[in-house]
Amino acid sequence: MPVYEYECKKCGYRFEFFKRNSEKEPDKCPKCRGSVRKLISMGVGFVFKGSGFYSTDYKKQKAKKSEEKSKNSCSTCGGGTCSTCN
């Protein structure tokens, strides 16, 4: 169900409207009954809540390996065991 944002031209009250296909768009402010205009908003496409939605969860294996390689590469010892690495 799409969500639209409206603003009253008379009192400036902003409100959201969950519009079903069968419903008409609001033409009156719920507070003062003045006329309203539809606002252009950047709406949120998806909101991920909960565990499991981290950028590292779906990273490509190739990218993970190159990150590990760059962490373990040292010009002195080549593997993170010298005093320069630690």
Question: 84, 77 in Cβ contact below 8 A?
Answer: yes
Residue-by-residue pLDDT tens, the chain, 86 positions:
578 899 999 999 999 888 888 889 899 999 999 999 999 876 666 666 666 666 665 656 665 555 555 555 666 666 666 766 65
Burial class (CB in 10 A: 0-12, 13-18, 19+), 57: exposed
CA distances from 54 to 7, 30, 46, 50, 57 (A): 36, 40, 14, 10, 5
Residue 73, both tokens: 């590469």
Quote the pLDDT of residue 60. 60
Full-model pTM: 0.46
